[in-house]
Structure formats: structure tokens, C-alpha cells
Amino acid sequence: MGSMEIAMKLVTETDIGEYSLKQLRLAVVDNHKIFKAMKDPENIKKLFEKAAILYAELFTDEEIMELIAFQTTDTGRKALELTTTLVQRGSENAKEWLYGIMDQIEEEDEENIAVDKSPP
């Protein structure tokens, strides 16, 4: 029996499996309730109020008016539409960049250790 078969046996034929199924059912029910609540106009209004407070804290009235004007342009609408993509890809790029730096430092440290251990 392969590891996948053994794992399936664990989750389908034991209390762990039954517990997992119960948790999954609860999660599905909870998600349904959450999504339904998210569509509620009162909850949407609360989210917009929080967003307005955030903008008011971070921008002047003039800057907010400039943002509104910008978002009515084609470029502004495109920028707004691509914000999530820009943030996600920017985060991925930063992570890749950081890992590259870490690899470089690790290689330099290994070279320094090798030099230190070489006989005089």
C-alpha cells in the first residue's frame, strides 16, 4: 500500500477522518454564512465607512479629490483594477530578490569558511 493509500485510510476509516469531515462540513456552513453576511447592505456600508475613515486619516481632502479625479481617467481605472496584481507580483518579486541576497550571503560565508579552514 502506498503512502497516499495509507493516508486516505487514515482520513476515511478513523476518528481523525470523521473529525476532519465534521470540520469540513462546519467550514462549508460557516463560509456560506460568512459570504451571505458579506453581501448584506448594512455590512457593506460598514466596510465602506471603515475605508472612508482610513482614507480620511491618510489623505487630505484635496488629495482625496485628486484621487477621485484620477480614478475617472482610463489610466486611473486601470491602476485601480490592477492594484491587487501589482501588490501580489511586487511581493513575489521582493521575496525572490530577498532569497537571492540570502543565497549570495550564504555562498560568501561558505567561501570564507573554506578559506579559514585551508592550511597555512
How far, in Å, CA of 117 to CA of 109, rounded?
A: 12
Percent with pLDDT over 70 in the chain:
75
Statement: the pTM of the whole predicted model exceeds 0.75: no
Q: Quote the pLDDT of residue 10.
A: 62
Dig out the grid coordinates for 5 from the structure: 493509500
How far, in Å, CA of 34 to CA of 28, rounded?
A: 10
Q: What is the DSSP string of 39-95?
A: H-HHHHHHHHHHHHHHHHHHS-HHHHHHHHHHHTSHHHHHHHHHHHHHHHHHHHHHH
| In the chain, where the domains are located | 1-58, 61-120
Express each pLDDT in 24-78 by its tens digit: 767 766 777 788 888 899 999 999 999 999 989 999 999 999 999 999 999 999 9
Q: Quote the pLDDT of residue 102.
A: 92
